[in-house]
Amino acid sequence: MNILAFCAHPDDIELNVGGTLLKYKKQGHKIYIALTTSGNTGSNVMTDVEEIGRVREAEMMKSAALYDAEVRFLRNDDERLLDTNETRTQVLDAMRWADPDVIFTHYPDDQSTDHAMTSKLVREMLLSLPGKNQQSHEKPCSKKVSLFYWEPSYGINFLPEVYVDITNECDEKLKGIYFHESQFPYMAEFGCTDFAEEARVWARFRGIQNGCKYAEAFRAHRIHGYMPDFKLLP
């Protein structure tokens, strides 16, 4: 299968679905990652937004190597992502590029503006995947895609309906987070001194709920023609 993780910023993948992607990789599936922004304002140490974007993209590429993933950067401005014809075409192009069987993205009720907008764009372009008359630079997709949402930070306003056991993948998941070293001083601005350790604690909490050591939690998107197939989860 082709698995697409569609996120707003570098490090979103590693925090929320990294363990699940590692399980897919072990099973021989192909991983694709698309990012609506490069997180080019995500630093109070660097002052040049172009430099921040370059650094964060380089960090993303190091982490993507853990999944043998292909990566597509859409390079919209961080914290300024809007629903426009241009961004809809970008998102549709990226979805068609991956030709996915399964898509993971942000939860619609995520309070981060870029997270919520990425989620909106992905789910609203889902029905456009097979459309031959859509504004797109990629060929239509014929697969019946299953779309799953990972949880917002610390599970705010999120009730899981399915879990993936990542007990054997958690250490490597954390390794992916540590590649995003530019974000450790920035996350400290929000009271988080080690967001990799916090991700481990959260995975332990979800693991307890799932009856295993570590887990990641998801909800499924449902719309006529694209109902979720839970059997496709690893």
Joined together, the tokens standing for residue 211 give 């009856």
**Is residue 229 in some structural domain?**
no
The tens-digit pLDDT sequence of the chain (234 residues) is 999 999 999 999 999 999 999 999 999 999 999 999 999 988 888 889 999 999 999 999 999 999 999 999 999 999 999 999 999 999 999 999 999 999 999 999 999 999 999 999 999 999 999 999 999 999 999 999 999 999 998 899 999 999 999 999 999 999 999 999 998 888 878 888 888 899 999 999 999 999 999 999 999 999 999 999 999 999
**Is residue 233 in some structural domain?**
no
**Is residue 234 in some structural domain?**
no
* Overall number of domains in the chain: 1
% helix, strand, coil for the chain, step of 5 = 45, 15, 40
**Is residue 232 in some structural domain?**
no
**Is residue 54 in some structural domain?**
yes
Strand order in the sheet with 30-37: 70-76, 30-37, 2-7, 102-105, 146-150, 215-220, 162-165
| Phi, psi dihedrals of residue 121, rounded to the nearest 5° | -65, -45
Q: Which residues contact 208 (CB under 8 A, 6 or more apart)?
A: none
**Is residue 185 in some structural domain?**
yes
Residue 130: give its domain's CATH number. Answer: 3.40.50.10320
**Is residue 138 in some structural domain?**
yes
Q: At residue 120, what is the residue type?
A: K
Output the pTM of the full model. 0.96
Structural domain of residue 75, as residue ranges? Answer: 2-224
